[in-house]
Structure 1
Amino acid sequence: MSKESFKGLYARTKPFMFMIFLQTSYAVGSLVTKSALNKGLNHYTFAVYRNAIATLFFGPLAFFTERKARPKMTVSIFLKIILLGLLEPVIDQNLFYAGMKSTTATFASAMCNILPAITFVMAWMFRLEKVKMKSLHSQVKIIGTLVTIGGAMIMTLIRGPKIQFPWTNNHTLHHESPVNTMNTQDQIKGSLMITAGCISWASFVILQAVTLKSYPANLSLT
């Protein structure tokens, strides 16, 4: 393979690689979060720590790399940033973590995976996304939305046989899991919280796309 062909292949596959890495990070993050919540960590505290660490990491990067790229701050942009902060770090994360405490990491990860579907439907409702039923492009989007939601429901509702790994034993497999000991009412409440959090997250994604048009400094906005 020539150098030019390799560069072209890398350019085409790079977005998919980033998306795979992102989804893997979401899955690992859900497992770590669920473990921390099970050990008694308050979900409000976890959200504060998460955002504080993210700020310490991204703050210097944004300051130095976008010093000359940041547009002038206006009242309109400032209000959008306040609303963005309310939708994702405050409403979404706290509802999401509170719901995860009453459900499972699998359900939380499955709901994260249908975020594009929720965002697409909301953008369609607010006429930010144009859908033409006769267009192949629109048909693929609709089919993808249905497949995504169906896959999330299968992951969440269908329980297959238990898988034994080398480091597990019969006691671990036959021991009643925390999911089975949960109150059904708590599971429903947690599911509704995660769903509401994902709707808030989808609203954040839509508003973020609108805000970036007038404030195209990604790290600074983050």
Structure 2
Amino acid sequence: MKESRSQGKIVGTVVTVGGAMIMTLIKGPTIALPWTKPSEISNHHSTSNPQTPINGALMIAAGCFCWAIFVVLQAITLKSYPAELSLAALICMMGAPQGTVLTLLVEKGNTAIWSIHWDTKLLAAAYSGIICSGASYYVSGLVLKEKGPVFFTAFNPLCMIIVAIMATFILAEQMDLGRVLGAIVIVVGLYLVIWGKANDQTLSGSGRDLQGAPVDHSQTTTTKDSGPPLTKDDNHLAVSSA
């Protein structure tokens, strides 16, 4: 805790989470962009159950906790099983039956959800399975193997910035001041985390240098087998004998 690199990672993590909260909770004035359109959502009183936000918050917290455990376990697994592509395939194979069982329990007798049509739902399902699961797990395995789980999870809030920017172009959503401020805070937190991780790598590299080069035991064995080194008298005797 006294090391500046560790303090930078801790402060950077807190700042990054704070930036994500700013993007979520604070709106502020709308920033007019040429390619966005005004919001057409009407203000009306919600008739939903008041327990829904509480249940949603609990489910989100459980999802974040499980995701953190998954990242740590993936990093540990890659140390003994350094095959990122095979590990991604195994994760998807284990997730497919779990998702099937969960869907059967939640939807029960609703067989219409299993129908396949050539529409955006099929495209969304294919994109989620191929890109968000298969390719994402493989790339995350590469990053976890090289940089570790701290470096990988530090970039999770960056997804909020990417989504907010892409939504303005693809969905023509408006950008507000809260999202811009939250994005700036997230970038600052990411910089602190990356700075702390860079110092970790520098320290580990200097520690390896201090250990020195390994001793070559082959030369020692050869010298031992060949006997003591020859002196000048031994050389003179050998030449006289020849």
Report the CA distance shift for 1:44/1:56 in structure 2 as closer, same or farther (over 3 A). Answer: same
Which segments of 5 or more consecutive residues in structure 2 lack a partner in the other structure?
1-48, 209-242
Q: Where does residue 132 of structure 2 map in the other structure? A: 88
Q: Secondary structure, in 3 states, of the residue corresponding to 2:81?
A: coil
Q: Where does residue 40 of structure 1 map in the other structure? A: 81
Cα distance, 1:71 vs structure 2: 7.1
Instruction: Give the structure, 1 or 2, with the largest relative contact order (CA under 8 Å, sep 6 or more).
Output: 2
Cα distance in 1 for residues equivalent to 2:55 and 2:122: 33
Alignment length (residue pairs): 155
Among 73, 80, 85, the alignment partner of 2:116 is 73
8 Å contact from structure 2 (residues 151, 197) kept in 1: no
Identify the structure with the greater helix proportion: 1
Cα distance in 1 for residues equivalent to 2:131 and 2:199: 38
Output the amino acid matched with 2:184: L
8 Å contact from structure 1 (residues 106, 156) kept in 2: no
Cα distance in 1 for residues equivalent to 2:60 and 2:101: 25
Cα distance in 1 for residues equivalent to 2:63 and 2:106: 23
Cα distance, 1:63 vs structure 2: 3.1
Alpha-carbon RMSD across the aligned residues, in angstroms, is 3.2
Report the CA distance shift for 1:32/1:11 in structure 2 as closer, same or farther (over 3 A). Answer: same
Output the amino acid matched with 2:118: V
Cα distance in 2 for residues equivalent to 1:93 and 1:128: 30
Cα distance in 1 for residues equivalent to 2:55 and 2:195: 33
Structure 1 length-normalised TM: 0.58
Cα distance in 2 for residues equivalent to 1:160 and 1:78: 42
Report the CA distance shift for 1:65/1:17 in structure 2 as closer, same or farther (over 3 A). Answer: closer
Output the amino acid matched with 2:89: V
Return the index of the structure with the highest Cα Rg: 2
- 2:160 paired with 1:113: no
Identical counterparts, % of pairs: 12
Q: Secondary structure, in 3 states, of the residue corresponding to 1:28?
A: helix
Q: Where does residue 166 of structure 2 map in the other structure? A: 122
8 Å contact from structure 2 (residues 71, 149) kept in 1: yes
Q: 112-121 or 102-111, which moves further after superposition?
A: 112-121
- 2:97 paired with 1:51: no
Cα distance, 1:39 vs structure 2: 1.9
Cα distance in 2 for residues equivalent to 1:128 and 1:86: 26
8 Å contact from structure 2 (residues 85, 138) kept in 1: yes
Cα distance in 1 for residues equivalent to 2:153 and 2:186: 12
Cα distance in 1 for residues equivalent to 2:122 and 2:98: 22
Cα distance, 1:160 vs structure 2: 11
- 2:199 paired with 1:157: no
